[in-house]
Amino acid sequence: MKKLAWFPEALFNSYAQVFFSNNKWFGIILLVLTFVDFYVGLYGLISVTTALFTGYFIGLYEHNIRQGYYGFNSLLVGVGLSIYFQPSALLLVLVIISGMLTVLLSLSFEGILGKYGLPFLSLPFILVFWILRLATREFESLGLSERGVYVLNELYLLGGRHLVTMYEWWNQIPFHTSLKAYFLSIGAIFFQQNVFSGFFASLGLLIYSRIGFTLSLLGFYIAYLFYILLGVPFSEVSYSYIGFNYILTAIALGGYFIIPNKSSYLSLLFIIPITAVIGISLQQVFNLFYLPVHSFPFNVTVLLFLYGLKFRVDNRIGLSTIFWHQQSPEKNLYNFLSFQERFGKGSPFPIYLPFFGEWTVTQGHNGNYTHKDDWKHAWDFEIQDEQGKTYKDEGDFPTDYYCFDKNVLAPADGVVETLVNDIEDNPIGNRNLDKNWGNTLVIKHSEFLFSKLSHLKKGSILPKIGDKVLKGEIIAKSGNSGNSAYPHLHFQLQATPFIGSKTIDYPISDFWMKYGKKETLEAVGNPPMQAKVSTLTPNPQLKKAFSFVIGNQINWETENGKKVTWEVKRDYLLNTFLECKETGSKAFFKLDEGTLHFIHFVGNRKSMLYQFYLAAYKISFGYSNRLQLKDSFPVNMAFHPNRIFIQDFIAPFYRYLKGEYLLTYPDKARGLGQQTIELHGKVIKSAFGKERETSTFQFLINADGLQRFQFQNKRFQTKAKCTAS
C-alpha cells in the first residue's frame, strides 16, 4: 500500500489543477460536483485514474504526478466524452485510451513549451477531445447521450427526492442574468450546465483563493460588458460554453502566472477583450467542423501573453512573472514580496570586498573627485584609525599610510584577464597622470562581469594573465601608483575586459557597514562615502551549528522526552531542506559562506521544525557586539490561514499584516573565541502597525555545535536539546 500512497493526493490535485490549485479540499469539492451527473463523475474518475497510473508505470517524476500535472487534462477529456455519449463498454474503452493518450500529449507539450518556460495548460485536453470527436463520427455503435434531458431522474437515482428538491431550489433562485451566467460558466469548466454545480465550484474557489475568486468575477464581468458593448447576442446558456475562458484567463494572467498587483488587475481590461475576440472568431471557424472551441481561446491568449513578456528589456508596467510557483495567487504574492525584500537587490554573481579588516570608503559612487560620468560607479578604500587619520607620524611616506602594502583579495572566483605590474609608486602628493590607473588587475568573473583593482603596489600582483583565482585569495598589495596622491585601493565592476572600461552599477555582497550611528549587516549594497566596511569573519561554532550537510541527521529530545529527527535533503531542483521524519514537514533553506537563510516551509505548523524555521530564519555566521539582524516573513508563513482571509482580498493593493524577525547576538568582538554563544530573538506579528503576538526563541551553541533550542509564546513552549547531528 505504501507504493500507492501518492494516489489520493494525485487524484484530488488532478481536479484542483483545473483551477491551478493543489488544495486537497478544493479538489474533493470539484470531484463531488462532477457526480451531479453520475456517469460524468464516473468516467471522469476512470480517465484521471488511468492517466495517473500511466504516469506512474512509465516512471514519471512522482512529485509531478502528485501535483496532478498529468491528470487534469485526462479528467477533462473523460468528463467531456461522457457528456456527449451514452454509457457503454465502447465509451469505457475510449475513456481509458484517451487517458493514456492525454498523458503522452502532456509530456510532448511539456517538452516543447517547457523549452520556452511556458505551461502546457489544457492544450492536451483540447487536442485529444477534438481527435476523439472526429474519430467517433465513424463509430456507429457509440450512441449520443440523452441523459441531460432526464436530469431530474438521474438526480433522483443518485440522491433521492432531497437532492432533486435542492437542485430545483437552486435553479429557481432569481439570480441576475449575468450572475447566473457566471455560475453556469464556472460549472461549464467541468461540463456541468447548472447553477448548483457552478455555485459550489465558485465557493470552492473562494475557499482555495480569495484573489482567484476576485479575478474570476473580474474577468467574467469585463467580458460580459464587452459583449454588451459589441452588441453580440447574449444567452446565458450559450455564453457559459465559452464564458469560462475569461474566468480562467483572468486567474492565470491576473494572479497565477503573473504576480497579482494593481498592474495585473488593470491589464485584464485589455487582455479579456482580446480573449473575447479570439473566442468569437475561433467559434466561427470550428463551427464549420462541428467542433466545440472549449478552452482554446484561454490557451491561445495566455501562451501569447506569457511568451511576449519574455522579450521585455524593462518591466515598466510592473507585471512580474512567477519564478517559484506556490500553487496559489496569495502564496505567490506573499513569497514574491518577501523574496524581493530579502534578496531583490541581490546579484546573480556575488562580488565581495577585496580586503581583510575594516576599511573606509573615501570616494563612492558619483564621487567628488574622479568618479564621474562613465566611471562614476566605483569605490576608493582607505584604512583609518580611531581619530579618523589614514596615516601614522607625519604621513610623508607611502609606508606611513595604514592601507599601503596591505593584502588585496580576489573579490570572487575568476580568471585574470589583464594586468599592469611595473609602474612605480608615487611619492606622497605626486600623481602619475600618464599612467593614471597605475598597477591594475582585471578579473573576469562571468560573461560581461569583470572587476578592476587599481593603484596597486609595483611588482605585488601575484597571478599571471590566464590564471584562475579564487574568492578571498591574496592577489596583490595596495599601493600608490598612477593617479594617486595618497595610498588607496580603487575598486570597480565593468562589463568589458579593458583597463579603461566604463563602470557598471553592480553591488557588493555580504558586508558589515558602519555609517553614521548605524551598524548594519548588508546582504547586498553600494556602500556610500565615509562608510566603514568589513567582511565579518565567520565564527567556527556558528558555522558548524548551522551549516547543514546533505545526508546528515539532527536529533532532538524535547523537555517531555519526545524524540524528533530531521534529515538534510536536496530535491531534483537542487533545493536544500530539512525534513522532519515524524511529520514529513520541510523547511527549505539557502546557505552561503556567511549566512543561513530559510526561505520556505511546507507541512505541520505545530511541529518543532516550523518553530525552528521561524527562529533560524536568518543567521549570520559572523557578528559584532550586540549585532541585531532584522528580516520579514511572508504573511502566509507567519499567520494562520484564518487570520489572513480578509487580508488576501486586498493583498495585491495593501497589506496591513506583517511578520517581523529579530535576532540579537551577544557582546563579543568580531565573533572570535570558543566560549558558549547564546542567540536570542523574537518573531513579532503585527496588524496595522500594532503588535498582536510575540514569540521568543533562544539558541545555545558551543564548540560541538548546536546544543539547545527554545521557542515560546502565550500558547505553548518548546525546549529541546540536540542529542546528535
Whether 423 contacts 476, CB under 8 Å = no
pLDDT for position 422: 93
CA dist 555 and 545 (Å) reads 13
Decide if pLDDT at 147 tops 60: no
Decide if pLDDT at 249 tops 90: yes
The residue with greater pLDDT, 272 or 327, is: 272
Q: How far is CA 86 from CA 241, 331, 630, in A?
A: 21, 42, 64
CA dist 331 and 325 (Å) reads 8
Residues 6+ apart with CB under 8 A from 462: 474, 475, 476
pLDDT for position 150: 54
Decide if pLDDT at 69 tops 50: yes
Q: How far is CA 164 from CA 35, 167, 168, in A?
A: 14, 5, 6
pLDDT for position 148: 52
- Name the least confident of 104-108, 476-480, 569-573, 690-694: 569-573
Average pLDDT estimate for 239-251 = 83
The residue with greater pLDDT, 625 or 525, is: 525
Residue listed under C-alpha cell 513578456: 309
Counting Cα atoms < 13 Å in the Cβ hemisphere of 134 gives 10
pLDDT for position 37: 81
Query: For the chain, how long is the longest CA-to-CA vector?
Result: 106
Percent of the chain surpassing pLDDT 90: 63
CATH match for 358-523 among 3.40.50.300, 3.40.50.2000, 2.40.420.20, 2.70.70.10: 2.70.70.10
Decide if pLDDT at 272 tops 60: yes
Specify the CATH superfamily of domain 1-208: Ammonium transporter AmtB like domains (1.10.3430.10)
Residue 585 carries which side chain, given as an amino acid letter?
S
Does an H or E element contain 659, and which?
A: strand 657-664
The C-alpha cell of 664 is what?
540579537
Summarize pLDDT for 165-206 with one digit per residue, the tens.
776 776 677 777 888 889 888 888 887 777 888 899 999 999
Nearest to 304 by CA among 281, 266, 278: 278
What DSSP string runs through 69-108? Answer: TTTHHHHHHHHHHHHHB---HHHHHHHHHHHHHHHHHHHH
Number of neighbours of residue 680 by Cβ within 10 angstroms: 14
Residues 6+ apart with CB under 8 A from 320: 258, 259, 261, 336
Nearest to 90 by CA among 156, 136, 51, 159: 136
- Name the least confident of 137-141, 538-542, 575-579: 137-141
Percent of the chain surpassing pLDDT 70: 93
What phi and psi, each to the nearest 5 degrees, are found at residue 671?
A: 70, 25
pLDDT for position 672: 45
Q: Which of 220-224, 371-375, 702-706, 720-724 has the largest mean confidence?
A: 220-224
End-to-end CA distance of the chain: 32
The C-alpha cell of 697 is what?
526563541
Nearest to 647 by CA among 214, 258, 326, 321: 214
Whether 607 contacts 580, CB under 8 Å = yes
The beta-strand segments (E) located in 465-617 are: 468-469, 474-477, 489-494, 508-515, 518-525, 532-534, 553-558, 563-570, 576-580, 586-591, 595-602
Nearest to 294 by CA among 243, 257, 251: 243
Summarize pLDDT for 659-701 with one digit per residue, the tens.
999 999 887 544 444 578 999 999 999 999 999 999 999 999 9
Decide if pLDDT at 6 tops 80: yes
Does an H or E element contain 680, and which?
A: strand 677-687
- Name the least confident of 192-206, 564-578, 586-600: 192-206
Decide if pLDDT at 32 tops 50: yes
From the number of C-beta atoms within 10 Å of its C-beta (0-12, 13-18, 19+), residue 456 rates as buried
From the number of C-beta atoms within 10 Å of its C-beta (0-12, 13-18, 19+), residue 9 rates as middle
Whether 523 contacts 344, CB under 8 Å = no
Average pLDDT estimate for 150-170 = 66
The C-alpha cell of 698 is what?
533562544
From the number of C-beta atoms within 10 Å of its C-beta (0-12, 13-18, 19+), residue 130 rates as middle
Average pLDDT estimate for 311-336 = 88
Angle separating helix axes 210-230 and 177-188, nearest 10 degrees: 120
What would you report as the CA-atom Rg of the chain, rounded to the nearest whole angstrom? 32
Q: Residue 154 — pLDDT band, cuts 50, 70, 90? A: low
Residue 278 carries which side chain, given as an amino acid letter?
I
Whether 10 contacts 52, CB under 8 Å = yes
For the chain, what is the mean pLDDT?
Answer: 89
Q: What is the value of pTM for the model shown?
A: 0.85
CA dist 193 and 425 (Å) reads 86
Summarize pLDDT for 409-445 with one digit per residue, the tens.
999 999 999 999 999 999 999 999 999 999 999 999 9
CA dist 533 and 520 (Å) reads 10
Q: How far is CA 190 from CA 30, 45, 198, 328, 409, in A?
A: 9, 12, 9, 20, 63
pLDDT for position 592: 84
From the number of C-beta atoms within 10 Å of its C-beta (0-12, 13-18, 19+), residue 376 rates as middle
CA dist 490 and 378 (Å) reads 7
- Name the least confident of 107-111, 214-218, 338-342, 457-461: 338-342
Decide if pLDDT at 489 tops 60: yes
Whether 609 contacts 711, CB under 8 Å = no
pLDDT for position 178: 83
Summarize pLDDT for 103-114 with one digit per residue, the tens.
999 999 999 999
CA dist 432 and 440 (Å) reads 14
Nearest-10 Cα torsion for 173, 174, 175, 178: 140
> Residue ranges per domain, the chain?
1-208, 210-327, 358-523, 540-724
Handedness of CA 83, 84, 85, 86 (dihedral sign): positive
CA dist 310 and 18 (Å) reads 25
Q: Residue 152 — pLDDT band, cuts 50, 70, 90? A: low
Residues 6+ apart with CB under 8 A from 115: none
